[in-house]
Amino acid sequence: MILSASRRTDIPNYYSEWFFNRIREGFCYVRNPMNPAQISRISLSPEVVDCIVFWTKNPQPMLARLGELSAYPYYFQFTLTGYGADIERGVPHKKERMIPVFQRLSEQIGSRRVIWRYDPILFNERYTPEYHINAFGQIAEKLCGYTQRCVISFVDEYAKNRRSMQQIGAVTLRQMKLYEFAKTIGGLAKENGMTVASCAEALDLAACGIEKNCCIDRMLIEELTGWQMKVGKDKNQRAECGCVESIDIGTYNTCPNGCRYCYASYSPESVAQSRMKYDPASPLLCGSVRQGDKITERKVKSLKI
């Protein structure tokens, strides 16, 4: 299986101690977000985990402990944008802290295993196409040699972030302007030795030098591990998403990054309440087994051919 850690929350930044405890004990519990009384027990044995995909805006808490993952193939999706604290409230300063962290991570594990995400891209009165082009170019120059791939996407509106998108005055670019923007981004990436791809986008940006890509990428995993895998498209994602199947061990409503575009958290207050339940020793992330819960062993296996 492929382990996702996690689309739902920033495990490397806030819950790395819990994650390493789970790796050491060889299993974790994941509560079903659609049916909270159902809990899956998931084996984390290297015999069944073919690859771990980390999603984060700040992996610094993990850097000193990456040696504990020597039995597992893994790579990082590292989101690094040009937004300020008005959009990404809990993320440390990009130039002073996050770019150096990105560079250190790449030096430790190699440029192929750190994917730069300039994602999602939203436009408003402050964050104009010109602003993003300038920010993207500056970051790309600093990351030259530290990554081989950049992934972009344009912000999507969900029920959970619709109000926030309205509050920050998010606007949609006309298609021609969007193509011009994408072409410039593609050129800046190429100048700095990296390819750029889109994630879960209906727009075909191939003419702009931007191919369709995916985050949980079978081809990349096969390249990193050296083995072929039998795995299909993740049917739980959007139609435009090309990711292959994975098991996510995160929990919604637990990420304090405070990103205004986020769909995985209801509000800062609800996140704070969830985090009060955090126990690094618990098999569940930000929770504990309650009376009436049903724990079922999830059948997992290696996908190697």
pLDDT tens across 203-259, in order?
788 888 888 888 899 999 999 999 999 999 888 887 778 899 999 999 999 999 999
Pairing of strands 74-79, 114-121: parallel
Number of neighbours of residue 217 by Cβ within 10 angstroms = 23
Q: What is the pTM of this model?
A: 0.94
Residue 131 φ then ψ, to 5°:
-60, -50
Mean pLDDT along residues 149-175: 83
Dihedral sign of CA atoms 15, 49, 8, 26 in order:
negative
* pLDDT tens-digit series, residues 183-204: 999 999 999 999 999 887 777 8
Tell me which of 57 and 263 has the higher pLDDT. Answer: 57
Tell me: cis bond preceding 302? Omega within 30 of 0 counts.
Answer: no
Q: Are 2 and 53 in contact (CB under 8 A)?
A: yes
Share of the chain above pLDDT 70, in %: 99
Q: Is the pLDDT of residue 159 over 70?
A: no
Mean pLDDT along residues 57-83: 98
- Cβ neighbours of residue 228 closer than 8 Å, sequence gap 6 or more: 222, 304, 305
Selection from 69, 44, 49, 57 nearest residue 11 by Cα: 57
Q: What is the pLDDT of residue 160?
A: 66
pLDDT level of residue 157 (50, 70, 90 thresholds): low
Amino acid letter for position 136: F
- Using alpha carbons only, what angle is made at residue 145 by residues 139 and 149, rounded to the nearest 5 degrees? 70
Sequence ranges of the domains in the chain: 2-297
Q: Cα–Cα distance between 78 and 119 in angstroms, integer?
A: 10
Residue with tokens 């040009």: 82
* pLDDT tens-digit series, residues 7-17: 999 999 999 99
Q: What is the mean pLDDT of the chain?
A: 93
Which listed CATH number (1.10.10, 1.20.1250, 1.20.1300, 3.20.20) goes with 2-297? 3.20.20
Q: What is the pLDDT of residue 174?
A: 86
Mean pLDDT along residues 88-107: 96
E-strand spans in 57-192? Answer: 74-79, 114-121, 149-154
Q: Cα–Cα distance between 25 and 44 in angstroms, integer?
A: 8
Q: What is the pLDDT of residue 158?
A: 66
Residue with tokens 């999830």: 298
* pLDDT tens-digit series, residues 110-133: 999 999 999 999 999 999 999 999
SS3 81: coil
Number of neighbours of residue 232 by Cβ within 10 angstroms = 9
Dihedral sign of CA atoms 43, 53, 288, 17 in order:
positive
Q: What is the pLDDT of residue 172?
A: 85
DSSP for residue 206 = G
